A and B are shown apart, each in its own frame.
Chain A
């Protein structure tokens, strides 16, 4: 069955640095979504990348997808304190179901 594993589990960086987090999965997908969650709050949709796309950009976010390695990465460039949050990948599985990864807790220090 589908599983999403993210690494690192936690990441602490200085403001202005880039943050990279990775998501690996088990079975083939046709798309992958990334979400942000501020502490105790809702899940904010960041970006969706399809299996026929290798890279996608949205503002300071860059997402890559390597279907041969069954992995995706999320890069946040020039990070800000406001980027402090947990980041999750979500993978389609079965019939109308998304499975969430374990998440990466990002802390950006001012």
Chain B
């Protein structure tokens, strides 16, 4: 069964360093998302991406964050200068459609980011 894959599963980085979290969405999906979950807290929306551009972003997704779909299969989240409070589990998701049929959003297993 197709699945969303994320790498790495765990990343430790020093404060101020740049990190890139990678995702391979399901191949026929057109809508892509990043979410984060700080330990013990709720799942928070970061950004959605469709037709090679950001569709919507939350207030969390400030200038330190960027997303890219560099080669038609990967979908990346970059954090330019990490802060301690960026430590969280980051989830990538994708869906085939937004309206009508096949709107289920499937999530990857997540990347646990630890900023030290």
Contacts and interface: CB of A to CB of B under 8 A. Distances in A.
B45 A98 contact: yes
A31 interface: yes
B50 A41 contact: no
A108 interface: no
A56 interface: no
A103 B42 contact: yes
A90 interface: yes
A82 interface: no
B25 interface: no
A45 B107 contact: yes
B55 interface: yes
Contacts of A68: none
B105 interface: yes
Interface in A7-28: none
> How big is chain A's contact interface, by range?
20 to 34
Contacts of B105: 33, 45, 90, 98
30 contacts: A31-B103, A33-B104, A33-B105, A35-B107, A40-B89, A40-B112, A41-B109, A41-B110, A42-B110, A43-B43, A44-B107, A45-B104, A48-B104, A88-B43, A90-B105, A92-B98, A94-B56, A96-B31, A96-B33, A96-B48, A97-B45, A98-B45, A98-B93, A99-B45, A100-B42, A100-B43, A100-B44, A100-B45, A102-B42, A103-B42
8 nearest interchain CB pairs?
A: A42-B109, A96-B48, A100-B43, A43-B107, A96-B55, A95-B56, A97-B56, A95-B55
